[in-house]
């Protein structure tokens, strides 16, 4: 049975992602995303599962920075439907809630609903961790935004269900490992690169894919940690890095970049 670390307490959406990908497995909750990366690198677990982006709130910047700095591979991906619930101690009412705890991403995804409650909003490190805190501390007049399973695990009462602003609310997770995934006929590849400081450099980089009809599914810039006001680019594209056409694109890409890091080739989610 594989050992898998994830960010959050039991009942976190990351745990749902682990179960979706692996089924029955040995779970290792971790307080921070960085702890998941360290657990995989240190051989404490076989795999880690980390959130990378939400369809409403956008990218998880910590994950992207850690993918760049850790010598690990993206082994797979999961697209998970996220449905949030507002929960509190048994006997509490919606009208009596004065404080609401949750992770900033979850709060952002439920902003429209929460704005109507006129309660104090407090950011915490985890959705399920907020539910656990309310249960363990017996916090009255306090609610958490978390999953339905978190309410079941911590014995809380659901006051409102499906409170996310956008019903098409999905979070994409990466499975990370020291291992590389086996080639798949429906693969996706992720990499990060920095362009040379020349006119048209990014245009030339993207042309390496466009001229070969390689479909880019994501392109995102992030500030460089090394030089202020310079940027690096994260790219996802359809295909496996060992495919001949992808190898050709990579060779051309190298001519127009000052660095490239392969993050992984893995089976696309939902196929």
- Cβ distance 142 to 100 under 8 Å? yes
173 shares a domain with 49: yes
Widest Cα–Cα separation across the chain: 65
Q: Is residue 131 part of a domain?
A: yes
Task: Tell me, yes or no, whether 31 and 156 share the same domain.
Answer: no
Which is the catalytic residue, given 28, 173, 193, 209? Answer: 173
202/248 same-domain check? yes
> pLDDT above 70 covers what percent of the chain?
100
Examine residue 94 and state whether it is found in any structural domain, yes or no: yes
User: Which entry of 142, 171, 195, 257 is annotated as an active-site residue?
Assistant: 171
Per-residue model confidence as pLDDT tens digits over 188-247: 999 999 987 788 889 999 999 999 999 999 999 998 877 777 889 999 999 999 999 999
- pTM greater than the 0.85 cutoff: yes
How confident is the model over 170-182, as a mean pLDDT?
A: 96
| Section 4-20 average pLDDT | 94
In a domain, 182, yes or no: no
- What tokens were used for 115? 């704005």
Mean predicted confidence (pLDDT) in 160-165: 95
- Is 171 designated active site? yes
Number of domains in the chain: 3
Classify residue 140: in a domain, yes or no: yes
The answer to the question of residue 33 being in a domain is: yes
CA distances from 189 to 74, 186, 268 (A): 9, 10, 9
Q: Residue 77 is part of which domain span?
A: 3-81+169-177
pLDDT band at 270 (very low <50, low <70, confident <90, very high): confident
Q: Which pLDDT score, from 0 to 100, does residue 230 have?
A: 80
**174 included as an active-site residue:** no
Tens digit of each residue's pLDDT (9 = 90 or more) over 233-243: 999 999 999 99
Q: Mean pLDDT over all residues of the chain?
A: 94
pLDDT beyond 60 at 138: yes
53 shares its domain with 173: yes
Q: Side-chain half-sphere of 34: how many Cα atoms within 13 Å?
A: 5
Query: Domain containing 195 — which CATH number?
Result: 3.30.70.260
Can you name the residues that pair with 7 across neighbouring β-strands?
30
Assess whether 60 and 173 both reside in one domain.
Answer: yes
């Amino acid at each position: 049975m594989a050992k898998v670390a994830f960010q959050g307490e039991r009942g976190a959406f990351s745990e749902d992602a682990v179960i979706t990908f692996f089924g029955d497995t040995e779970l290792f909750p971790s307080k921070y995303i960085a702890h998941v990366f360290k657990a995989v690198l240190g051989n404490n677990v076989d795999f880690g599962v980390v959130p990378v982006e939400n369809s409403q709130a956008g990218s998880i910047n910590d994950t992207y920075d850690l993918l760049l700095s850790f010598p690990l591979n993206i082994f797979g991906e999961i697209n998970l439907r996220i449905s949030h619930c507002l929960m509190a101690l048994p006997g509490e009412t919606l009208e009596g809630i004065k404080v609401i705890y949750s992770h900033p991403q979850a709060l952002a995804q439920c902003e429209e609903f929460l704005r109507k409650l006129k309660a104090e909003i407090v950011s915490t490190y985890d959705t399920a961790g907020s539910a656990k805190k309310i249960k363990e501390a017996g916090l009255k007049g306090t609610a958490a935004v978390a999953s339905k399973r978190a309410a079941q695990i911590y014995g809380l009462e659901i006051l409102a269900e499906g409170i996310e602003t956008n019903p098409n609310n999905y979070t994409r997770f990466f499975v990370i490992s020291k291992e590389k995934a086996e080639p798949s006929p429906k693969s996706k590849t992720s990499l990060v690169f920095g362009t040379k400081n020349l006119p048209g450099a990014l245009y030339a980089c993207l042309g390496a894919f466009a001229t070969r009809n390689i479909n880019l599914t994501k392109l995102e810039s992030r500030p460089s940690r090394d030089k202020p006001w310079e940027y690096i680019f994260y790219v996802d594209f359809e295909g496996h890095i060992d495919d001949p056409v992808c190898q050709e694109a990579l060779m051309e890409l190298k001519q127009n970049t000052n660095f490239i890091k392969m993050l992984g080739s893995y089976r696309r989610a939902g196929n």
